[in-house]
Amino acid sequence: KQSAYKLSFERIAKVKPMIQNVVSTSDLNTILDLKKIALKAKNSEYNPKRFHALILRSRDPKATALIFKSGKMVCTGTKTESEAKEASLKFLKVVKQAGFTKASLKVKKNILELQYKEYCSNL
Protein backbone atom coordinates (compact mmCIF):
# COMPACT_ATOMS: atom_id res chain seq x y z
CA LYS A 1 0.00 0.00 0.00
CA GLN A 2 1.45 3.39 -1.06
CA SER A 3 1.55 6.23 1.41
CA ALA A 4 -0.23 9.51 0.73
CA TYR A 5 3.17 11.22 0.82
CA LYS A 6 4.55 9.07 -2.00
CA LEU A 7 1.42 9.57 -4.13
CA SER A 8 1.54 13.31 -3.71
CA PHE A 9 5.28 13.35 -4.55
CA GLU A 10 4.59 11.40 -7.78
CA ARG A 11 1.89 13.90 -8.72
CA ILE A 12 4.24 16.84 -8.07
CA ALA A 13 7.02 15.20 -10.12
CA LYS A 14 4.73 15.23 -13.18
CA VAL A 15 4.17 19.00 -12.99
CA LYS A 16 5.90 20.88 -15.80
CA PRO A 17 6.72 24.47 -14.81
CA MET A 18 5.92 27.23 -17.31
CA ILE A 19 7.58 30.65 -17.33
CA GLN A 20 5.00 33.40 -16.91
CA ASN A 21 7.24 36.34 -16.03
CA VAL A 22 10.93 37.07 -16.53
CA VAL A 23 12.51 39.62 -14.18
CA SER A 24 15.90 41.11 -14.95
CA THR A 25 18.01 43.54 -12.97
CA SER A 26 20.62 45.83 -14.45
CA ASP A 27 22.74 48.85 -13.67
CA LEU A 28 22.80 51.91 -15.94
CA ASN A 29 26.16 52.96 -14.42
CA THR A 30 25.16 56.57 -13.74
CA ILE A 31 23.19 58.66 -11.24
CA LEU A 32 19.85 59.76 -12.75
CA ASP A 33 17.47 62.69 -12.43
CA LEU A 34 14.17 60.77 -12.50
CA LYS A 35 12.02 63.90 -12.78
CA LYS A 36 13.87 64.97 -15.93
CA ILE A 37 13.36 61.53 -17.51
CA ALA A 38 9.67 61.45 -16.52
CA LEU A 39 9.05 64.81 -18.18
CA LYS A 40 10.62 63.66 -21.47
CA ALA A 41 9.41 60.04 -21.61
CA LYS A 42 6.05 58.69 -22.73
CA ASN A 43 4.28 56.04 -20.63
CA SER A 44 6.08 57.06 -17.45
CA GLU A 45 5.03 57.62 -13.85
CA TYR A 46 7.02 59.37 -11.17
CA ASN A 47 5.56 60.24 -7.79
CA PRO A 48 8.44 60.30 -5.26
CA LYS A 49 6.02 60.74 -2.34
CA ARG A 50 4.45 57.39 -3.18
CA PHE A 51 7.38 55.39 -4.58
CA HIS A 52 11.03 56.39 -5.08
CA ALA A 53 11.39 54.95 -8.57
CA LEU A 54 10.43 56.03 -12.06
CA ILE A 55 8.00 53.57 -13.67
CA LEU A 56 8.36 53.17 -17.44
CA ARG A 57 6.12 50.97 -19.56
CA SER A 58 6.71 49.49 -23.00
CA ARG A 59 4.06 48.04 -25.31
CA ASP A 60 6.29 45.91 -27.54
CA PRO A 61 7.64 43.93 -25.87
CA LYS A 62 5.12 44.35 -23.07
CA ALA A 63 7.26 45.23 -20.06
CA THR A 64 7.56 47.54 -17.07
CA ALA A 65 10.77 49.01 -15.68
CA LEU A 66 11.42 50.44 -12.24
CA ILE A 67 14.34 52.84 -12.52
CA PHE A 68 15.98 54.21 -9.39
CA LYS A 69 18.05 57.37 -8.91
CA SER A 70 21.15 55.20 -8.34
CA GLY A 71 20.85 53.88 -11.91
CA LYS A 72 19.57 50.46 -10.88
CA MET A 73 16.79 49.11 -13.08
CA VAL A 74 14.36 46.22 -12.63
CA CYS A 75 12.58 45.08 -15.79
CA THR A 76 9.58 42.80 -15.42
CA GLY A 77 6.59 41.50 -17.35
CA THR A 78 8.28 39.77 -20.27
CA LYS A 79 7.84 36.09 -21.14
CA THR A 80 11.33 35.26 -22.45
CA GLU A 81 14.93 36.18 -21.78
CA SER A 82 15.27 37.74 -25.26
CA GLU A 83 12.18 39.93 -24.65
CA ALA A 84 13.71 41.03 -21.32
CA LYS A 85 16.94 42.03 -23.09
CA GLU A 86 15.01 43.86 -25.82
CA ALA A 87 12.89 45.74 -23.26
CA SER A 88 15.96 46.67 -21.18
CA LEU A 89 17.65 48.12 -24.27
CA LYS A 90 14.48 50.04 -25.10
CA PHE A 91 14.38 51.54 -21.59
CA LEU A 92 18.09 52.40 -21.86
CA LYS A 93 17.34 54.26 -25.10
CA VAL A 94 14.61 56.29 -23.32
CA VAL A 95 17.07 57.24 -20.56
CA LYS A 96 19.70 58.26 -23.12
CA GLN A 97 17.17 60.35 -25.07
CA ALA A 98 16.36 62.20 -21.84
CA GLY A 99 19.97 63.44 -21.75
CA PHE A 100 21.86 60.75 -19.85
CA THR A 101 24.15 59.77 -22.72
CA LYS A 102 26.73 58.10 -20.45
CA ALA A 103 24.20 55.48 -19.35
CA SER A 104 25.17 51.93 -20.32
CA LEU A 105 23.65 48.55 -19.55
CA LYS A 106 25.23 46.10 -17.14
CA VAL A 107 22.90 43.10 -16.78
CA LYS A 108 22.99 40.73 -13.82
CA LYS A 109 21.90 37.12 -14.27
CA ASN A 110 19.57 36.11 -11.49
CA ILE A 111 20.41 32.98 -9.49
CA LEU A 112 16.78 31.88 -9.68
CA GLU A 113 17.01 31.61 -13.48
CA LEU A 114 20.07 29.40 -13.23
CA GLN A 115 18.38 27.19 -10.62
CA TYR A 116 15.29 26.90 -12.85
CA LYS A 117 17.36 25.79 -15.86
CA GLU A 118 19.18 23.27 -13.67
CA TYR A 119 15.86 21.94 -12.32
CA CYS A 120 14.35 21.58 -15.80
CA SER A 121 17.36 19.71 -17.13
CA ASN A 122 16.91 17.13 -14.33
CA LEU A 123 13.25 16.40 -15.22
Sign of the four-CA dihedral 84, 60, 47, 93: positive
CA distance linking residue 99 with residue 86, whole number of Å:
21
Give, for 45, the enclosing helix (H) or strand (E): strand 44-45
Q: For residue range 34-45, what is the model confidence (pLDDT) as tens digits? A: 999 999 999 999
Can you name the residues that pair with 65 across neighbouring β-strands?
56, 75
- Please state whether the predicted TM-score (pTM) of the whole model is above 0.85: no
Residues 59-113: pLDDT tens digits? 999 999 999 999 999 999 998 888 999 999 999 999 999 999 888 887 665 555 5
CB of 71 closer than 8 Å to CB of 29:
yes
pLDDT given at position 7: 62
